[in-house]
Every structure is written in structure tokens, then in C-alpha cells.
Amino acid sequence: MAIITIVGSGMMGSALAFPARENGNEVRLVGTHLDREIIDGCRANDQHPKFDRKFPAGVKYYQIEELETALDGTDFVIGGVSSFGVDWFGEVVLPKIKDGTPVLTVTKGLMDTEDGKLLTYPALWKETLKKLGKNIPLNAVGGPCTSYELVAHDQTEVAFCGDDLEILQQLKKAMETDYYHVSITTDVVGIESAVALKNGYALGVALTVGVNQKVFGNDTLHFNSQAGVFGQATREMYKLLAFQNAMTIDNLAVGIGDLYVTVYGGRTRLVGILLGKGLNIDEAKAELNGVTLESLVVAERVARAIKRNIVKGTLKAEDFPLLLHIDDIVSNKAEVNIPWDSFTYRK
């Protein structure tokens, strides 16, 4: 049995408490400074307000002021913050974790640099750890997994990535159940890039749903257009993984699987549909007031990196018509006009 401390009581961090606790581990769920009401509710009801079932018996709940208590004696930490909490996690949580204690992060995203590179969040945190003079093994989880389906025990297949296979095997042993299946790999850049890239492209597929609802009505579903954009998204993700020197069939499979599940549920689908129906980005955000939209952040960052590399001559604009159009919609309030002709090819 391991002691597992989850920092961040959002939906995915909290969902991982289910396999962790059901596997016989001691689980401590810590809310961030934004999660106070969630932790109060968990203490009162043993249930996350967004889930339809109670936590497994024995999960312990902590407010952020009790972080050091929750970290005392822990075997590993799960980082459950969103992309917007990356800096906070590095500044507040990492300094309090004991040297040698592995971290497994669920945060999906990439950070672009001035010279057009795309960095994973573990790479950013490694720089933080260097400044702190700390040695904390950083690992991440990626793959097609929505929080509410994990809570429902739907069969889920993910990948844990990190620098040390022995540590990854320990994490797998602690977390894997008969419904939560874990591959392990040292290709951190590949897994983290694949699962981050899908965010912007899922938004693109959702645009077609909104366009069709606008034209044909909300009760009609059309799959040709969704599949067409999905196919183009696959092409562009393939090229971006190659740009990251991380193009393998396993990485692409993780990314495409995550793209599939994101298209069919969640916040990215909602904002994409609203944009497709004719709202501009500000109107769509207002409609979804209070909803965290990480997909927009990822799309903007990746598009910035693509444009910088187009100027440098290392990438071609004609290889990324979908993402560049998505960026135009998000950054410049352009009208949705999916560039279908740009998706065709002749060989």
C-alpha cells in the first residue's frame, strides 16, 4: 500500500482518487486555494459536487493550508491542477515536496517560447526544481480519459511517462485496476505533446457540429464534416509530433484517442459548438461563464509556435490550415469558415 497525496480537487485529480483508493492505497485529496467549497463538500458528503457517486471509503480531505500535513510521509504526489495552475504548482507545491518523492501530473498543455519551441510542463518544472536545488522525479499521465467516465469505471487506457522506468512501474502498480490500464514510457515529450495538441484540434471538430446546428437545426447530426476535420486534425498532429521529434505510432494513438474522447464531451466541445453557431470568442466565453477553457490556451500557443517556425522556414503554412484557422477565430474573432479545399491533396 502506498500513501498518495493528490493536490488539486478538480474533476480529473479527484477522479484519480477512485482507482488510487480502490487499489488499497491511503489517499489524501488536497484542494487548492480555489477549491475550498469542493473540499468542504467532500468532507460533508464524501462526494465531489460534479460526480454522481461517492468517493471510495477512507479518502481523506485537506484544505490548502493543510498541505504540509497531507504531504507528510507520502509516497508520491499527483498534481491535479489545470494549465492555469502550472505556475502556482511550481511556486507553492513543488518546494514543499520531499526530495525523491515522485510527482505524477495530469495537467495537459504546452508552453511556446520566443524561438518557436514547444515545451512540456514537466520540462518547465524541471527548471523550477533546478533553481530550488531539489530532486523530484517528474512524471505525467496522458491518454483518452474523461474524469466522469473514470469515476463510472468505464474501461480506460492511459500512458504514464517519465524519465525512470522503475519509478513508472511503481506508479503503475499503485494506480492500475481492472478498469484503469496503464502503459509506461520514457517518451515524455511524445506523450505530453500528443495529449496537449488534441485540445485545439478537438475545438476544430466541434466547430462543424455548431455549423450544422446553425444550418440544419439542433436535432440533426452530420458526421461527414466531423470526420473530415478529424482526419485533417490527424494529419496536422502527425506533423507537429514530427516537429517535436516524437512521431511514433504509440504517441499518435494516444493523441488521436484523446482527440476522439474530447470531441464527444466536455468544455472544448461546448465552446466549439458555440463558435460554429456564429458566436465570436468573447460571446462564447460569456455563454460559458466560469468554465475553464484550456483548449483555447493550447491552440493559441501552438499556433504562435507554428507561425514563428513558418517565418524561420522550418514549417509550412499549407501544412496547418486547420489550426491556423482556429487561431484566427480565437485570436482575431474571425468568422468560422472551415478551409475545406486546403484539406485536399493530389499525389
DSSP one-letter code for 55: P
> Of 198, 285, 316, 347, which residue is the catalytic one?
198
Q: Is 285 a catalytic residue?
A: no
pLDDT digits (tens, 9 = 90+) for 76-132: 999 999 888 999 999 999 999 999 999 999 999 999 999 999 999 999 999 999 999
Average pLDDT of every residue of the chain: 95
Question: How far is Cα 248 from Cα 221, in angstroms, rounded to an integer?
Answer: 33
Quote the pLDDT of residue 294. 80
In sequence order, which ranges of the chain are alpha helices (DSSP H)?
A: 11-15, 17-22, 36-45, 67-71, 86-88, 121-132, 147-151, 165-175, 188-216, 224-243, 249-263, 267-276, 281-287, 294-312, 321-332, 340-343
Four-residue CA torsion sign, 223, 226, 232, 238: negative
Q: 275-324: per-residue pLDDT in tens?
A: 999 999 999 988 888 666 788 888 999 999 999 999 999 999 999 999 99
The pLDDT tens digits of the residues spanning 15-30 come to: 999 999 999 999 999 9
CB 214 within 8 A of CB 274: no
Q: What domains sit in the chain, N to C, each tagged with a CATH number?
A: 3-186 (3.40.50.720), 195-343 (1.10.1040.10)
The band of 73, judged by pLDDT with boundaries at 50, 70 and 90, is very high
Residue 292: per-residue pLDDT:
67
Longest dimension (CA), the chain: 63
Q: Give the span between the Cα atoms of 29 and 9, in whole angstroms.
A: 7
Q: In this structure, are residues 139 and 161 in contact, taking their beta carbons and an 8 Å threshold?
A: yes
- Grid coordinates representing 326? 482556429
9's CB contacts (< 8 A; 6+ apart) are 29, 30, 31, 32, 35, 38, 39, 42, 48, 61, 80
- DSSP calls for 8-50: --SHHHHHTHHHHHHTT-EEEEE--TT-HHHHHHHHHHSS-TT
Residue 118's φ and ψ, nearest 5 degrees, are: -120, 115
User: What pLDDT is attached to residue 64?
Assistant: 97
CA distances to 68, 118, 210, 256 from 27, in Å? 15, 34, 41, 31
Average pLDDT over residues 165-175: 98
Query: Which residue, chain included where needed, has cell 498534481?
Result: 79
| Per-residue pLDDT at 342 exceeds 80 | yes
Coil, strand or helix: which one is 160?
A: strand
The set of residues, in sequence order, having a beta carbon less than 8 Å from that of 305 and lying 6+ positions away, is: 112, 113, 116, 117, 118
